[in-house]
Amino acid sequence: MNKIIWIVLIILGLLAPFVVYPVVMMKLLCFALFACAFNLLLGYTGLLSFGHAAFFGGASYITGHLVKVSGLTPELGVLAGTLFAGLLGYVIGSLAIRRQGIYFAMVTLALAQIVYFIALKAPFTGGEDGLQGIPRGKLFGLIDLNYSYSVGGSPLALNLYYFIFVMFCLGFWIIYRTIHSPFGQVLKAIRENEPRAVSLGYKVEKFKLIAFVISASLAGMAGAMKSLVFQLASLTDVSWHTSGEVVLMTLLGGVGTVLGPMTGAFTVVTLQSELSSVVGSWITVIIGCIFVVCVLAFRRGFIGELGRLLKRSL
């Protein structure tokens, strides 16, 4: 049963660029990976990070800079961005896990703000303008990611799309394997009852930190991919708004579900791109309202509710 769902999803993903405009689809995939990475922390470890934009945005600056100025190939750029985010995750994570619950959220928010200030002031980030004109380059130095195929008269950037799709699947697979490993079971134990996990002899701090680093790395990978898709790394990517948005995506889709964050990310990103032309900057207010309604009446999210109806965990 599960296998069939995955195969259908992969086929949908492979065919998507012929139906949906590829750039839109790639944006969805980047934010979906971002939300899935975030969910590993909130949904499976019970840690609410309010600073995940630091990893997402930080990695997109690093990748953008390395690809643009140092001429790295895109796959190495993404790798570098991911590693950077992992390292940053190690630093921020080891500080933040010193406090619990609500303080954890505030510490991550404040630490992410330092990253924001650095992005604003550092010489290579382009300040308010961001890092523009990031080249997509040639994958492994061979395959031109800018190349567009003409399908039915419209140009489709399929090379880039499939690169992003494969990266997304890789990231998602890592998260899936983490959740379903013995390590993931310990994370869930910590989420459910931390003192009990401690009393069973688990080094809770270590587990939290590893989960934080994995989550940060993959959030960074999503950001790195985003910088290639939009050829832009901007201050928005590192701002607290982005940190809040990823929380909303996860909440709306279903905290602690495998497919929830993806669903939530698709919903929020689609809403934003569809509505922003109609309502302009009122979109922030709408996002805020969704947040409030979600917290008050819809805490399980789409997939969580669906799972409850089907009486199984999705």
Q: Is 59 in the site for another protein (CB under 8 A)?
A: no
Spatial distance between the Cα atoms of 187 and 138, rounded to a whole number of angstroms: 39
Check binding of 69 to another protein (CB under 8 A).
Answer: no
Distances (CA, A) of 278 to 20, 86, 121, 263, 275: 20, 38, 34, 23, 5
Binding window for another protein (CB under 8 A); candidates: 10-18, 106-114, 152-160, 168-176: 106-114
Rounded to the nearest whole angstrom, what is the least distance from the CB of residue 73 to another protein in the complex? 34
The alpha helices in 134-203, defined as continuous H runs, are: 158-179, 182-192, 194-199
Nearer Cβ to another protein, position 135 or 244? 244
Q: Are 56 and 246 in contact (CB under 8 A)?
A: yes
Rg (CA), the chain: 19
Among 88, 107, 232, 269, binds another protein (CB under 8 A): 107
Binding-site member from 4, 142, 278, 296 for another protein (CB under 8 A): 296
| Dist. CA 52–CA 267, nearest whole Å | 19
Q: Does 277 bind another protein (CB under 8 A)?
A: no
What spatial distance separates the first Cα and last Cα of the chain, rounded to whole Å? 12
> Residue 313 and residue 257: Cα distance in Å, rounded?
7
Residue number with CB closer to another protein (74 or 261): 261
Q: Is 198 in the site for another protein (CB under 8 A)?
A: no
Question: Under the criterion CB under 8 A, does residue 5 sit at the interface with another protein?
Answer: no
Binding of another protein at residue 113 (CB under 8 A)?
A: yes
Taking the C-alpha atoms of residue 74 and residue 226, their distance in angstroms, rounded to an integer, is 12
244 binds another protein per the rule CB under 8 A: yes
Q: In which residue are the tokens 């489709």 written?
A: 156
Among 14, 151, 198, 295, binds another protein (CB under 8 A): 295
Asked whether position 193 contacts another protein by CB under 8 A, the answer is no
Residue 90 lies near another protein (rule: CB under 8 A): no
Smallest CA-to-CA distance from 233 within 303, 128, 106 is with: 128
For another protein (CB under 8 A), the number of binding residues is 39
List residues near another protein by CB under 8 A.
48, 95-96, 98-103, 105-107, 109-111, 113-114, 117, 121, 240, 244, 247, 251, 280-285, 287-292, 294-296, 299
